[in-house]
Amino acid sequence: MTAKTTPPPKKQTPKAARILVPTDFSRSAEEALHFAIPLARQIGGKITLLHVLDWQADSGISSAMGVMNAIGQSADATKRRLDRLAKKIIPEALLDSTVVRVARPHLEIAKAARDLKMDVIVISTHGHTGLKRVFLGSTADRVVRHATCPVLTVRSVPGKKSPDLKKRSLAPVFKRILVPVVFSEQAEPSVRFAANLAKIMRAKLTLLHVVAPLPLNATKYRAEIRAYDAEIKADAKKQLQALAATIPGVRTQVLVRQETPYYGVINAAHELKSDLIVIPTRGFTGLKNFLLGSTAEKVVRNATCPVLTFTEHATKSKTFGS
């Protein structure tokens, strides 16, 4: 009697990363797609295009049924517009779906990302101008605070003409990633998160630590302070090198700067011509408002390159985390 042979286990196909792109149909909102599309290509992702209707009740509508009908008509028209935009800009192979929701934009964007199990949100930091409620811009800041998944914020450049995103050769690619590091118990998972992203993108990683500036009025103990300062910088470089040694397979360099934290991050990104800054936000515990949190928000508002923010939760995700 011949023994039954066990068939080899089926090889699982990796699940496509899910990318959520909110839009208000403005030109700068399209800039988010300018980066979401090449990101989808690099990480093997699919894009969901979202519009949130911040619907205001019309004083001329007196009944609940009338309100529901008006919202429904507005949502249907918006869905058709969203479908046209997706067909025009997003390659068919990269499009997952288009979604319309009705609520406060920043809360609903974060909620939609959770409900739809998104891996990353890509959002522009500027939207319509001259409106009391700016959909993008201040909303992007709030999404960064509320989202549990990573958020990629991109700044639109006035007068810059976007290339044809359906042509792969013209789309931007992330090749140089800057990672600000604060030495804490969360430093290693943060660097590992960025390293996993760099592996997926085949990008070079720069680990940056920003040392606080010397006090201007410390003339009495100048020699002692300078010696201590040199010691801090040398120790910071050693710690960065130790972190870099934990991520084989990724081209890595280390950098120590001495500036106000967020200036140090932004200036380093400019000098290194970084394509992307990857920085943790206040979701990490035990660190108050030094580099994480308030500094991350300042970097989001002022950096000229895209910024990917993430929380401790994201470091445990299957897509980018460990």
pLDDT in tens, 162-221: 555 555 544 567 899 999 998 887 788 889 989 998 998 889 999 999 998 877 666 666
State both tokens at 94: 């990269």
- Tell me the pLDDT of the chain averaged across its residues: 80
How far is the C-alpha of 19 from the C-alpha of 47, rounded, in Å?
5
> 17-57+65-154, which class in CATH?
alpha beta
How far is the C-alpha of 317 from the C-alpha of 262, rounded, in Å?
27
Q: Are strands 151-154 and 95-102 parallel, antiparallel or unpaired?
A: unpaired
What is the predicted pLDDT for the residue at 135?
44
What is the predicted pLDDT for the residue at 132?
36
**pLDDT confidence bin for 253, thresholds 50/70/90:** very high
Tell whether the model's pLDDT for residue 257 goes beyond 60: yes
Task: Provide the total of helices (H) and of strands (E) in the chain, helices listed first.
Answer: 8, 10
**% of residues, the chain, pLDDT over 90:** 40
On whether the CB atoms of residues 154 and 34 are closer than 8 A, the answer is yes
Predicted confidence (pLDDT) per residue in 67-125, tens digit? 677 788 888 999 999 999 999 999 999 999 999 998 888 889 999 999 999 999 999 88
> 174-316, which class in CATH?
alpha beta
Does residue 117 come out as left (phi exceeding 0), alpha (psi in the -120 to 50 range) or beta? left
Does residue 125 come out as left (phi exceeding 0), alpha (psi in the -120 to 50 range) or beta? alpha
Provide the terminal-to-terminal Cα distance of the chain, rounded to the nearest Å.
47
Predicted confidence (pLDDT) per residue in 28-54, tens digit? 888 888 889 988 988 889 999 999 988
**pLDDT confidence bin for 127, thresholds 50/70/90:** very low
Query: What average pLDDT does the segment 267-277 reach?
Result: 95
What is the predicted pLDDT for the residue at 245?
94
Helical pair 294-302 and 138-146, crossing angle rounded to 10 deg: 140
Tell whether the model's pLDDT for residue 136 goes beyond 60: no
What is the predicted pLDDT for the residue at 115?
96
pTM over 0.75: yes
Tell whether the model's pLDDT for residue 6 goes beyond 80: no
State both tokens at 128: 């319509």
Residue that wins the pLDDT comparison between 265 and 138 = 265
How far is the C-alpha of 245 from the C-alpha of 35, rounded, in Å?
30
Q: Are strands 151-154 and 307-310 parallel, antiparallel or unpaired?
A: antiparallel
CB atoms inside a 10 Å sphere around CB 276: 26
Residue range(s) occupied by CATH 3.40.50.620 in the chain? 17-57+65-154, 174-316
Residue 314: C-alpha distances to residues 167, 230, 272, 279, 318 (Å): 31, 35, 26, 12, 9
Tell whether the model's pLDDT for residue 131 goes beyond 50: no
- CA 200 from chain center: how many Å? 15
